[in-house]
Every structure is written in C-alpha cells, then in structure tokens.
C-alpha cells in the first residue's frame, strides 16, 4: 500500500488577527452610534425626545444630538401645519366627494332634519400632550366636533341653519369645541370651523327653502333700487328747498325794503301835514281819488264860509249809471 502525504496549510495564512476583528466591529458600532446620535428638526416641526421610552424634552428647529437607539428616540410632530378634519363628507380627490350620513344628519331646534357638511381646521399646540395624553386625539377631536355641532344645530331653527344663520352657528360650534378640547387637554388647537353646505333631506323641502331664499334676494334687490332712487331724489329735493328758501329770503328782503320806503314816505307826508295841514289833506284826497277813480272830473267849489268842497259832478260812466 502506498501512502501519500498531503501537505498541511500553514496556520498563519488562514487565521485573522483578533485585533482586526475587534477594530472592524468597533468601527461599525461607532458608525451606528454616529448616525443615530443627531437629528434635524424643520421650522414646521417640534421633536419629542424619549429616554428609555419616557418623555424627556421637546426640541425646536435645528440640528440636535441625542444618545443612540434604543437609549433615546425622537418623534417629530408637525406643530405648525394646518390640518383639516372633514365631517359629513369625505374628499376623494379630483373634485369627488362622498356623503357620510351618520355624521351629516342632525335635528334642528324646531324638530326638522337637515344635512350639514363642515370641516374643522386645527393644529397641534402641545406635542407632548398630543402624543401621550390620549390614545387617539384625532378621534376625540372628531367626536367633540360632532357633539358641538349637534348641540348648536339642536337649538337653532331650520330657517337659520339653511339661510342666514350659518356664521353664527360656526362661531358657536367653535366656542363649544374649544371648551371641550380644553377639558380633554390633548394638545390640539382649533383654528376655524366652516360649514360647506346645509340642505333639507328631501327635494320638496329643499325647493321650498330655495323659494324663500329667492324671495329674500328679490326683497333686497327692491330695497336697493328704492335706496338708489331715494339717494338720487334727495339732492334734487334739497336743491329745490334751497331755491325756495333763497326766493323767500329775497321776497322777505324786498318786503322789508318796501316797508322801510313806505315808512320814510309816510314820515315825509306827516311832516308836510304838520306844516301845511289843509293843503296836504287836499292833495292826499285828490291823489286818492285819482288812484281810485282814474279819469274822473273833479270840481272845486268855495262855499259862502270860505270852505272848499271837492264834489264829483260828472257821472262815473258815460251812461250816467250809479
């Protein structure tokens, strides 16, 4: 039998140095620690830092350092983002909407049923409370919003819900919702409440309220036209009133001047009468007769006593009548 000797591989060619292995492992661990020891927070965010799963701090925008996982972990929360909660409908995108009747249908204060679609604009005000004070803060927000809406609509007449009372309803829902969220303390701030649409559940009722709304618009149109006419006529009336006042003032001043002239004339006549009584009386009589009976012939006769008599001897008309 022939024995063949197979040469053995030198031990120093297959053995990896222990120091090299340790160095490689240490480098990998160091890289993991390095990449898990810093994080970036944007202007729209705040970061909640947890140490062994327990809340430690809240950090703002910028670059921050932490202990590597699993010692410390970070949850970034979009505190500045305005978020929208839809109630009564869901936006499917591309202008498509679906109705959610269990949220939309409500009973008014006069026991009518309406369908209301609205949305809540909100944002996270406290990231720690938002993450840890409740299991599902958005569900609490939805339930609180529906409760506030049903409470407000339940004390409002259907005419106000469908026509002119929407702004008041929005404000009241917002106030009630803010009070509820303050009580729950879940770190959510309500920014706005907007009613998208409100309508009756049947076409007949819907048409009746459309007719009411059209009548109100016709009333407003008529009032606007009346106000327009009033505004155009008032300046004309004021101008006419000013003209009449100026005319009256002019007539008044004319009468005053005439009266003053008559006073001066009377005073002059009176002075003449005091100085020449007889002559003045005769002249005044003749002037009056000439004014009263224009064209009459008057004869002046002296009587035996030397007193002059002024007697009309000719008839007043050509036929000799009275």
* Same domain? 266 vs 307: no
* Same domain? 96 vs 144: yes
**316 has a pLDDT exceeding 50:** no
* Same domain? 126 vs 186: yes
Residue 280 lies in a domain: no
Residue 311, beta-bridge partner list: 299
- The percent of residues in the chain predicted with pLDDT above 70, rounded, is 82
* Same domain? 98 vs 170: yes
Scan for tokens 């009746």, then name that residue: 208
Confidence of residue 297 (pLDDT cuts 50, 70, 90): low
Q: How many domains does the chain have?
A: 4
* Same domain? 94 vs 179: yes
Instruction: Kindly give the pairing relationship between strand 62-65 and strand 72-77.
Output: unpaired
**318 has a pLDDT exceeding 60:** no
Residues in the chain: 322
Q: Where a domain ends, among 201, 218, 252?
A: 201
* Same domain? 87 vs 180: yes
User: What single DSSP character describes residue 305?
Assistant: T
CB 202 within 8 A of CB 181: no
User: What single DSSP character describes residue 17?
Assistant: P
Residue 4 lies in a domain: no
Phi, psi at 157, each rounded to 5°: -70, 150
Per residue in 194-205, pLDDT tens?
999 888 766 676
pLDDT, residue 215, reads 86
CB 137 within 8 A of CB 187: yes
Domain region containing 102? 83-201
Residue 9 lies in a domain: no
pLDDT, residue 302, reads 56
* Same domain? 72 vs 90: no
**239 has a pLDDT exceeding 70:** yes
Per residue in 24-49, pLDDT tens?
777 776 666 666 778 899 999 999 99
Residue 253 lies in a domain: yes
Per residue in 8-30, pLDDT tens?
555 544 566 787 767 777 777 66
* Same domain? 292 vs 256: no
DSSP state letters, 208-236: HHHHHHHHHHHHHHHHHHHHHHHHHHHHH
* Same domain? 194 vs 226: no
Scan for tokens 């618009």, then name that residue: 217
CA dist., res. 312 & res. 156, Å (int): 99
* Same domain? 94 vs 155: yes
CA dist., res. 174 & res. 194, Å (int): 9
CB 81 within 8 A of CB 42: no
User: Cα 306 to chain center, whole Å?
Assistant: 101
Q: Where a domain ends, among 145, 173, 201?
A: 201
The token pair that represents 19 in the structure block: 């120091």
pTM above 0.85, yes or no: no
User: C-alpha angle with apex 282: 278 to 284, nearest 5 degrees?
Assistant: 115
Name which of 198, 177, 197, 201 is nearest 189 in CA terms: 177
Residue 23 lies in a domain: yes
User: What single DSSP character describes residue 134?
Assistant: -
Residue 77, beta-bridge partner list: 46
Per residue in 64-96, pLDDT tens?
888 887 888 899 999 999 999 999 999 888 878
Residue 103: exposure state from Cβ atoms within 10 A (0-12, 13-18, ≥19): buried
CA atoms within 13 A on the CB side of 222: 6
pLDDT, residue 322, reads 44
Q: Where a domain ends, among 201, 236, 255?
A: 201
Residue 282 lies in a domain: no
Residue 6 lies in a domain: no
């Amino acid at each position: 039998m022939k024995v063949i000797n197979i040469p053995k591989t030198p031990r120093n060619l297959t053995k990896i140095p222990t120091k090299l292995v340790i160095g490689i492992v240490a480098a990998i661990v160091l890289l993991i620690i390095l990449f898990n020891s810093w994080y970036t927070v944007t202007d729209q965010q705040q970061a909640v830092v947890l140490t062994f799963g327990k809340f430690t701090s809240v950090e703002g925008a910028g670059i921050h350092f932490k202990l590597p996982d699993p010692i410390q972990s970070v949850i970034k929360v979009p505190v500045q983002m305005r978020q929208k909660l839809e109630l009564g409908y869901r936006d499917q995108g591309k202008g498509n909407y679906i109705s959610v009747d269990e949220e939309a249908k409500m009973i008014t204060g006069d026991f009518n049923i309406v369908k209301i679609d609205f949305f809540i604009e909100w944002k996270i005000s406290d990231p720690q409370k938002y993450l840890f004070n409740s299991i599902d803060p958005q569900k609490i927000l939805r339930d609180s919003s529906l409760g506030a809406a049903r409470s407000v609509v339940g004390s409002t007449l259907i005419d106000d819900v469908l026509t002119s009372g929407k702004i008041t309803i929005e404000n009241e829902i917002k106030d009630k919702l803010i009070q509820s969220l303050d009580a729950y303390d879940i770190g959510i701030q309500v920014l706005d409440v907007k009613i998208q649409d409100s309508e009756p559940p049947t076409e007949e009722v819907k048409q009746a309220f459309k007719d009411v709304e059209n009548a109100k618009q016709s009333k407003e149109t008529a009032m606007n036209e009346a106000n327009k006419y009033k505004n155009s006529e008032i300046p004309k009336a004021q101008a006419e009133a000013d003209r009449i006042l100026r005319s009256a003032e002019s007539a008044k001043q004319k009468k005053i001047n005439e009266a003053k002239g008559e006073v001066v004339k009377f005073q002059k006549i009176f002075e003449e009468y005091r100085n020449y009584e007889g002559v003045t009386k005769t002249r005044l009589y003749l002037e009056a007769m000439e004014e009263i009976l224009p064209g009459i012939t008057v004869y002046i006769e002296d009587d035996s006593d030397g007193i002059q008599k002024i007697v009309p001897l000719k008839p007043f008309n050509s036929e000799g009548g009275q």
